[in-house]
């Protein structure tokens, strides 16, 4: 019995010792992108957090259906070595609200994102008229079941504080957003059970700042405001990384 107990004790101590020796933080960060873009927009945030000792994983959402994006996120969560801080930008907030129900997820971080309640969809949330002085996303009419941002308006609406050569390319390289993803209603609301943090972008022309503040207040989220466009992970990656780090230290 003594020998069995010793073996069990060593099996618990060894992974912790290896983690301490490697310098890796005991939490994994999973980054979930939004509509019209892919996971490459997280690169600067990824680099900063990786250099700080975190395991960082990036979800590549197809953005065809909400269920498909949630499934893709669950696959990445399963691959994480540690408890997960789940981060969603923009439409990625819909995804993490549903996928954050995963027992491996410890906390949620919304970055200029939707933070829906049960029964809400992007479509239902977007029906609200933006407050005076704020604007809605300049979307083109649906085509073959998908949405795009008007390419001529994309740079100013999505990332006005990012280099124009980058935003012109982003406009041309948009990933079509499926109407199924836009219209599907949320059934699980992770922020009701888990700590959440919300970064509000005050110069956002895709999701009005007033809406973001309302999402954050409803979720009881720890909130930070930043003078940024919607693409805050591109224009202020260090601040975004620091905000995620703060969330990772919340018990």
pLDDT tens, the chain, 251 aa long: 444 443 333 344 444 444 445 589 999 999 999 999 999 999 999 999 999 999 999 999 999 999 999 999 999 999 999 999 999 999 999 999 999 999 999 999 999 999 999 999 999 999 999 999 999 999 999 999 999 999 999 999 999 999 999 999 999 999 999 999 999 999 999 999 999 999 999 999 999 999 999 999 999 999 999 999 999 999 999 999 999 999 999 87
Give the Cα separation of 241 and 251 in Å (integer): 18
Give the pLDDT of residue 55.
Answer: 98
Q: What is the pTM of this model?
A: 0.91
Helix extents (H) in the chain: 2-22, 43-51, 66-79, 92-99, 122-126, 154-159, 164-172, 179-183, 209-219, 232-235, 237-248
DSSP letter at 172? H
Give the pLDDT of residue 7.
Answer: 38
Give the pLDDT of residue 14.
Answer: 41
Give the pLDDT of residue 16.
Answer: 45
Give the pLDDT of residue 96.
Answer: 98
Contact between 92 and 113 under an 8 Å Cβ cutoff? The reply is yes
Q: What distances in angstroms separate CA 55 from CA 17, 20, 29, 97, one per listed residue?
A: 17, 14, 6, 21
Angle between helices 43-51 and 237-248 (to 10 degrees): 50
Give the pLDDT of residue 2.
Answer: 45
Give the pLDDT of residue 250.
Answer: 82
Give the pLDDT of residue 22.
Answer: 59
Give the Cα separation of 1 and 15 in Å (integer): 22
Contact between 72 and 59 under an 8 Å Cβ cutoff? The reply is yes
């Amino acid at each position: 019995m003594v020998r069995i107990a010793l073996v069990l004790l060593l099996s618990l101590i060894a992974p912790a010792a290896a983690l301490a020796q490697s310098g890796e933080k005991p939490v994994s960060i999973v980054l979930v992108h939004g509509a019209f873009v892919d996971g490459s927009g997280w690169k600067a945030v990824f680099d900063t957090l990786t250099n700080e000792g975190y395991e960082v994983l990036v979800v590549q959402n197809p953005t065809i259906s909400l269920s498909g994006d949630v499934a893709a996120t669950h696959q990445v969560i399963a691959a994480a070595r540690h408890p997960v801080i789940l981060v969603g930008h923009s439409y990625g907030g819909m995804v993490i609200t549903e996928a954050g129900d995963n027992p491996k997820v410890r906390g949620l971080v919304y970055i200029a994102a939707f933070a829906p309640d049960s029964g809400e969809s992007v479509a239902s949330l977007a029906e609200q008229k933006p407050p005076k002085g704020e604007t809605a996303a300049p979307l083109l009419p649906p085509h073959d079941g998908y949405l795009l941002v008007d390419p001529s308006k994309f740079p100013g609406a999505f990332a006005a504080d990012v280099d124009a050569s980058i935003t012109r390319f982003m406009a041309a390289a948009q990933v079509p957003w499926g109407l199924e993803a836009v219209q599907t209603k949320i059934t699980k609301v992770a922020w009701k059970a888990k700590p959440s943090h919300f970064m509000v972008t005050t110069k956002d022309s895709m999701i009005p700042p007033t809406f973001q503040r309302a999402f954050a207040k409803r979720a009881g989220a720890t909130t930070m405001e930043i003078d940024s466009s919607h693409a805050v992970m591109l224009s202020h990656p260090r601040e975004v990384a620091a905000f995620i780090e703060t969330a990772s230290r919340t018990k």
